[in-house]
Amino acid sequence: MTIDPATLAALSGVSTATVTTVLLKQGLRNVWMRGTRPLRAAQPRLIGRAFTLRFIPAREDLATPESWSSPLSTRAAIEAMPEGCIAVVDAMGVTDAGIFGDILCARMAKRGVAGLVTDGVVRDLSGVLGTGLPVWCRGAAAPPSVAGLTFVAWQEPIGCGGVAVFPGDVIMVDDDGAVAIPQKLLAEVAAVAAGQERLEEWIMDRVNDGEPLPGLYPPNAENRARYEAESKPR
């Protein structure tokens, strides 16, 4: 399911920091996925539907190199990923087994997957960087996934970085990490967040002019009126 173009346009200039504040005001506190750091500097801000994958602790009879050829494998999951999705992987925060390497990331990039988000790590770091696939994770480790994890499912609800993520949730990622936006709140969050960004740009201009913060951030009634007056089309 694609994201409505108007909603996507409204979110295009919004940061994850602003989205977390807007969701907080909606009563949602736990939306930022812990450990999802950009793998390289200056990765693009991305917005896309979540395609979920889930690992559990390794069990020796299942977590084997032979499992990579199973119909229930990360390889099969990648072939089911639609163009433009963001793969969100529950790796249980494990940091000593890389869930994906360069070949898997190259295939994701070839299929048009927008990015990869995980609370785990990748392997073949230089190769993964070479694929151009934007990745948010905890870092890199040499051992393969089966050294510490068993892959069990895709397109099911997961917990990534301590956050509940459902297939089809909208994921936003930038330099501050990854945030999950529930589908039913998407249009409202987009509209409110876009307005908040415009207000904060105005506040930043006032701060750069030397104005003090009390009454400005957050704006009191007087400064809110100033903002609305100065923001009216001329």
Contacts of 71 by beta carbon, 8 Å cutoff, 6+ apart:
none
Tabulate helix, strand, coil % of the chain (nearest 5). Answer: 35, 25, 40
**Residuewise pLDDT in 10s, the chain (234 residues):** 689 899 999 998 899 999 999 999 999 999 999 999 999 999 999 999 999 999 999 988 876 787 777 888 999 999 999 999 999 999 999 999 999 999 999 999 999 999 999 999 999 999 999 999 999 999 999 999 999 999 999 999 999 999 999 999 999 999 999 999 999 999 999 999 999 999 999 999 999 999 999 999 999 999 999 999 988 775
pTM: 0.92
Contacts of 64 by beta carbon, 8 Å cutoff, 6+ apart:
146
